[in-house]
């Protein structure tokens, strides 16, 4: 992949007009945009249509987590949106993930389908918070365990911190995709993320895609910020 194909910009904006403006500003530099639960709830259909019109790829980041049948139906609905990738929370368990895969395959019928990702532990979560939820053991070990489960369920990859990307590849295979949020260039504010790396560090740790939001959206020149991050990706080799 080229460096620009590995950057996903999170459209974490408050209004449809802001989303449209950001897509148009970044269109010359960015190919993939992430639509999360807040913008999708507010103006999801419209923004998906805008991305398709601009011939941009969409990562539909809704982290589906429900009983298997409901998630299978959600997966089928997502398949009809012409999206590039979507995700399901690993905390839903293996049966739920398998149902999501079946739902997608039933609609795809051998054709093109989106990349299917499992969400492991959120990058805002640290060891203390994970333990407070009742999970025992090491956070990194839990992430690897979830990644292996996702692969066994038929998913294409996971969303995880770049800090775990290399070990995920070792456990699940080099072809298993790792999408890493919580990316902060050295020149950007850390925000509310706990387990973060720079774009260059993330690629060196074998991340396939990196997700960047505020460092680009809040920059004085978002297009220039995106270019700087793409240059960091290129520098990682």
DSSP for 138-181 reads: -HHHHHHHHHHHHHHHT-SEEE--GGGHHHHHHHH-TTSEEEE-
Q: For residue 46, how many other CB atoms are within 10 A of its CB? A: 13
Give, for all 237 residues of the chain, the pLDDT tens digit.
899 999 999 999 999 999 999 999 999 999 999 999 999 999 988 999 999 999 999 999 999 999 999 999 999 888 888 899 999 999 999 999 999 999 888 776 656 789 999 998 766 666 776 666 666 667 788 889 999 999 999 999 999 988 899 999 999 999 999 999 988 887 766 555 555 689 999 999 999 999 999 999 999 999 999 999 999 999 886
Residue 213 near residue 10, CB atoms below 8 Å: yes
pTM, rounded to two decimals: 0.90
| Residue 189 confidence (pLDDT) | 63
Task: Report CA-CA distances (Å) from 194 to 89, 176, 191.
Answer: 19, 24, 9
Q: Nearest 5°: CA angle at 213, between 64 and 129?
A: 60
CA–CA separation, 179 and 97 (whole Å): 17
Q: Span 3-235: which CATH code?
A: 3.20.20.70
User: Has 204 been annotated as catalytic?
Assistant: no
Per-domain boundaries in the chain: 3-235
The beta strand positions in 11-166, using DSSP E, are 32-35, 57-64, 85-89, 115-119, 157-159
Which candidate in 34, 57, 63, 169 is catalytic? 63
37-53 and 16-26 helices cross at what angle (nearest 10)?
Answer: 50
């Amino acid at each position: 992949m080229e460096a620009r194909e590995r950057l996903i910009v999170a459209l974490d904006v408050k209004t449809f007009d802001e989303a449209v403006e950001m897509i148009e500003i970044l269109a010359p530099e960015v190919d993939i945009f992430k639509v999360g639960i807040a913008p999708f709830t507010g103006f999801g259909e419209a923004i998906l249509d805008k991305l398709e019109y601009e011939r941009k790829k969409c990562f539909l980041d809704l982290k589906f987590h429900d009983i298997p049948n409901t998630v299978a139906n959600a997966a089928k609905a997502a398949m009809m949106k012409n999206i590039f990738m979507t995700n399901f929370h690993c905390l839903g368990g293996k049966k739920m993930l398998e149902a999501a895969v079946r739902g997608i395959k039933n609609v795809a019928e051998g054709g093109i389908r989106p990349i299917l990702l499992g969400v492991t532990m959120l990058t805002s979560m640290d060891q203390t918070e994970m333990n407070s939820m009742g999970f025992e053991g090491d956070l990194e070990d839990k992430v690897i365990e979830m990644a292996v489960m996702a692969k066994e369920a038929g998913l294409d990859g996971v969303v995880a911190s770049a800090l775990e990307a290399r070990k995920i590849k070792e456990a699940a295979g080099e072809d298993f995709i790792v999408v890493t949020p919580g990316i902060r260039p050295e020149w950007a504010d850390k925000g509310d993320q706990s387990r973060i790396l720079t774009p260059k560090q993330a690629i060196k740790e074998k991340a396939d895609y990196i997700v960047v939001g505020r460092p680009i959206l809040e920059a004085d020149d978002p297009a220039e910020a995106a270019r700087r991050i793409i240059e960091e990706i290129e520098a990682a080799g």
